[in-house]
Structure 1
Amino acid sequence: MPKEIVKEKILTFPQVKKLLEEREKEGGLNYLQKITYDYITKLSKLDANRAEELMKKLEMEGISPIVAAQIVNIMPKTIDELRTILSTENKLFLPSELEKILSIINSFRQ
């Protein structure tokens, strides 16, 4: 019988990593979860708390949650990289807005 989706939430890589770590403590991970954990561990650039904080700040700048999550996952270093990610938004960002967003991202960089 197919599983029913009860709730959907957009998560960043660090948040997924934290959830998998909690699941592992509770009773272990299955094969697919272990592969996902290894992949996420290699790509995570922030811890879960800082990722969530950065997502909130990006959303306050008018960025949708799904695009904010991608920005947190990728942590773009240049305006061009940021502009590419933001191209899916239905909003045109001014150069000054892009610089402000990049400044926010850089303040979270480890």
Structure 2
Amino acid sequence: MSYEIIEYHDIPNSLAKKILEKYVANLRGGVSEIVKVTLEYLDKVEKCDYEKIDYMYNELKKLGFKEVTISMILNIVPKSIDELRTLLVFEEKIPDDDVLKTIIDMILNNCKE
């Protein structure tokens, strides 16, 4: 079976896990080893459930962040403004501290480890 890449998007690990689980659920045969290993990895590194990640993804998108930045933020789940700043390398403009504090608060309220 061959596939064609139609488009590319940077997505958080939780979304990748959800997509892969849906793919596996629709399979009629066995699952390849790479799919099993990938699902195990995504399960280990997931820091927040899909619904909360989806909510935060949309909120960060409204703030104008690029997909790659949003994905890094939601995969790493920074706990301080300084940690968050290091993830903004792909952004042309760094938001002020009030916006960064709002993002950290949103992460802390939605992702409890």
TM bucket normalised to smaller = 0.7 to 0.9
Name the counterpart of 2:8: 8
Q: SS of the counterpart of 2:72?
A: helix
Partner of 1:108: 110
Report the counterpart of residue 82 of structure 1 in structure 2: 84
Instruction: State which of 40, 51, 54 in structure 2 corresponds to 1:52.
Output: 54
| Contact 2:9–2:67 (CA under 8 A) maintained in structure 1 | no
- Matched ranges for 1:14-53 at <5 A: 14-27=14-27, 28-53=30-55
Deviation at 1:3, TM superposition (A): 4.7
CA RMSD of aligned residues (A): 1.7
Runs (5+) with no aligned partner, structure 1: none
Following TM superposition, the consecutive aligned residue runs of length 4 or more in structure 1 with deviations greater than 4 angstroms are none
Gapped regions of structure 2 (runs ≥ 5): none
Per the normalisation by structure 1, the TM-score is 0.86
Tell me if the contact between 1:23 and 1:29 (Cα under 8 Å) persists in the aligned partners: no
Residue by residue over 1:23-58, the C-alpha shift from the partner in whole angstroms, topping out at 9 and shown as x without a partner, is: 222224211111111111000011222211110111
User: Normalising by the residue count of structure 2, what TM-score does the alignment of the two structures yield?
Assistant: 0.84
| Pairs aligned (count) | 109
Distance 1:81 1:13 in 2: 19
The structure with the largest helix share of the pair is: 1
